[in-house]
Amino acid sequence: MFADDWGRHPSSCQHLIRRLLGRREVRWVNTIGTRSPRLDFATLARALEKLRHWVRPRGAGHASAALPSGLRVVNPRMWPWFGSAFSRRLNGVLLRRQLTRLIRTLPEPPVAVTTLPIVADLIGELPVRRWVYYCVDDFGQWPGLDQVPLRRMDDLLIARADVRIAVSETLRDRIRSLGRDAHLLTHGVDLDFWATPSRAEEAAVPALEGLERPLVLFWGVVDRRMDVALVRRLASDLTNGTVVLAGPKADPDPALFASGRVVSTGPLPFEQLPHLARAASVLVMPYADLPVTRAIQPLKLKEYLATGRPVVVRDLPATRDWGDCLDLVDTPESFSAAVRRRIADGVPQAQTSARARLSSEGWAAKARMFERWALGAEVADAA
């Protein structure tokens, strides 16, 4: 499994793999990610983190007691660039040498799954029996990434993979435009985790202390996908309260924070998010309408709905399917009006009733579909 570092953030891939570990052994390969290094503090911190992983003895990247049974995390050494032909060849050589040795210790050739196009050059080079591309984003449109080389590698991976699984119809359409097909697997949700805690169970969230209520909350990566006009109009129209953007910053537009009513908490522990939602009056996704946001399947969408809180989001392909469960908006004026209406009135009964269909969106069911498509006839034979 080629993906972002295990435990770094609760990705859809990690949710799926956790549900497969009772039946499958998994070797999780931490990669360098998709952002080329920059001269900033975030890059330095990330580089030091990767160096610690690389210099530890093999298998020491994570304490074994902290990992689920059946999972082993591997930290191969990689060159931290991929934009040039030289960088791609170098990373291909490094990964092939390190991972071929690992694969040959396994009882049988594994199935290789990747969420990242940067390993496209490894197809045909590693002794695996099948390649699966779990396509979770349109990396060629993502702000802040090296879009041109990522687009080339993404196209190559789509062409070469044996199986393709897309998380949104937009991504599936892109794959089809390249002459290939893909299974559609939208994200799941852990209903028990996100169930709104009672006030007796509510944990204090230090990041919210001292903020004026009511709270309008977004959690996730704060970057150039945010629609500044939506956020600024809401902040201007609120007579009291705070717009809270909880999560890591990745070069957001500075104008996002022009109002004193808009605050950033920085990253927060995943376990705090249900309590964060409990403290909020409305949960929002103020994304701009962009090619990259039209392709995404926001993991937080069903999480928001599972909390029982009012939800207001940008009208996008992935959010439109859940329009009966939340408020869809497409202008700064409609965004501000919908948020203020939900602060006053809460969740309408019709939306609460519509959210009952979340019960069929659990991660266990999604993992069974993923396993069936990734392994194909092997799952049917085992059954």
Give residue 142's pLDDT band: very low, low, confident or very high (50, 70, 90): confident
What's the confidence (pLDDT) of residue 178? Answer: 98
The DSSP string of 196-213 is PPPTTTPPP-GGGTTPPS
What is the pTM assigned to this prediction? 0.89
Beta bridge partners of 3: 30
Q: Does residue 6 sit in the same domain as residue 155?
A: yes
Tokens describing residue 186:
């939208």
Q: Average pLDDT for residues 276-283, to the nearest whole number?
A: 96
Structural element, H or E, at residue 2: strand 2-3
**CA nearest 92: which of 100, 218, 196?**
100
Question: Residue range 95-124: average pLDDT?
Answer: 96
* Pairwise CA distance, residues 159 & 71, whole Å: 29
Q: Residues 215, 301: one domain?
A: yes
Statement to judge: residues 64 and 164 lie in one domain: yes
| Mean local confidence (pLDDT), 241-256 | 96
Number of H helices, E strands in the chain: 15, 15
Q: What is the mean pLDDT of residues 58-81?
A: 77
* Domain count for the chain: 2
β-bridge pairing 282-285 and 183-184: unpaired
Question: Which H or E element spans position 89?
Answer: helix 85-103
- Both tokens of 106, joined, read 């396994």
Other residues' Cβ atoms within 10 Å of the Cβ of residue 93: 13
Q: What's the pLDDT score for residue 180?
A: 98
Look up residue 383 and give its two tokens. 């059954």
Q: How far is CA 243 from CA 281, 306, 340, 350, in A?
A: 10, 21, 12, 26
Q: Residues 104, 168: one domain?
A: yes
User: What is the per-residue pLDDT for 43?
Assistant: 47
Say what the alpha-carbon torsion angle 319, 321, 327, 328 is, to the nearest 10 degrees: 60
Residue 88 sits in the same domain as residue 116:
yes
d(CA 164, CA 133) in angstroms, rounded, equals 5
Neighbours of 155 (CB within 10 A): 16
Predicted local distance difference test score (pLDDT) of residue 52: 61
pLDDT the model gives residue 64: 47
Give the 3-state secondary structure percentages of the chain, helix then strand then coil, rounded to 5.
45, 15, 40
Q: How confident is the model at residue 35, as a pLDDT? A: 56
pLDDT of residue 49: 53
Cα distances from 236 to residues 239, 242, 304, in angstroms, run 8, 11, 24
Q: Which of 251, 233, 252, 253 is nearest to 243 (CA)?
A: 233
Q: Please list, residue by residue across 310-327, b when 16 or more beta carbons sit within 10 angstroms of its beta carbon and e when fewer do.
A: bbbbbebbbbeebeebbb
The pLDDT value recorded for residue 201 is 52
Which contacts qualify for 22-28: CB closer than 8 Å, 24 or more apart?
22/70, 23/371, 24/70, 24/371, 25/70, 25/72, 26/1, 26/70, 26/71, 26/72, 27/1, 27/72, 27/74, 27/102, 27/106, 27/110, 28/1, 28/3, 28/71, 28/72, 28/73, 28/74
Res 340 pLDDT > 60: yes
The amino acid at residue 198 is: S
Least confident of 9-13, 196-200, 370-374: 196-200
* 3-state secondary structure labels for all residues of 290-322: CHHHHHCCCHHHHHHHHCCCCEEEECCHHHHCC
Q: Do residues 215 and 244 touch, judged by C-beta distance below 8 A?
A: yes
Q: What is the residue range of 366's domain?
A: 2-188+362-382
Together in a domain, 22 and 48:
yes
Same domain, 107 and 50: yes
221 and 241 co-located in one domain: yes
Give the number of other CB atoms < 10 A from CB of residue 268: 18
**Rg, Å, the chain Cα set:** 21
Q: Cα 339 vs. chain centroid, distance in angstroms? A: 25
Q: What are phi and psi of 342, to 5 degrees?
A: -75, -30
Kindly report the average pLDDT of the chain as a whole number.
90
Q: Are 125 and 101 in contact (CB under 8 A)?
A: no
Give the pLDDT score at 376: 83
Is the same domain home to 85 and 222?
no
Token pair in block for residue 251: 């070069």
**Whether residue 199 is found in the same domain as residue 179:** no
* Average pLDDT, integer, range 77-97: 91
pLDDT-derived band at 146 (thresholds 50, 70, 90) equals confident
30 shares a domain with 167: yes
Query: Does one domain contain both 319 and 371?
Result: no
> pLDDT by residue (tens digit) across 185-232?
999 999 999 986 655 455 678 999 999 999 999 999 999 999 999 999
Q: pLDDT tens-digit profile of 290-316? A: 999 999 999 999 999 999 999 999 999
User: In terms of Cα–Cα distance, which of 71, 128, 57 is closest to 96?
Assistant: 128
The string of pLDDT tens digits covering residues 26-68 is: 999 999 765 555 545 444 444 455 456 555 644 444 444 489 9
Instruction: Return the minimum-mean-pLDDT range out of 21-35, 42-56, 84-98, 348-362.
Output: 42-56
CATH number, domain with residue 111 = 3.40.50.2000
- DSSP letter, residue 35: P
**What are the C-alpha distances in Å from 114 to residues 30, 139, 158, 331, 337?**
11, 13, 11, 36, 41
Which pLDDT value is given to residue 287?
98
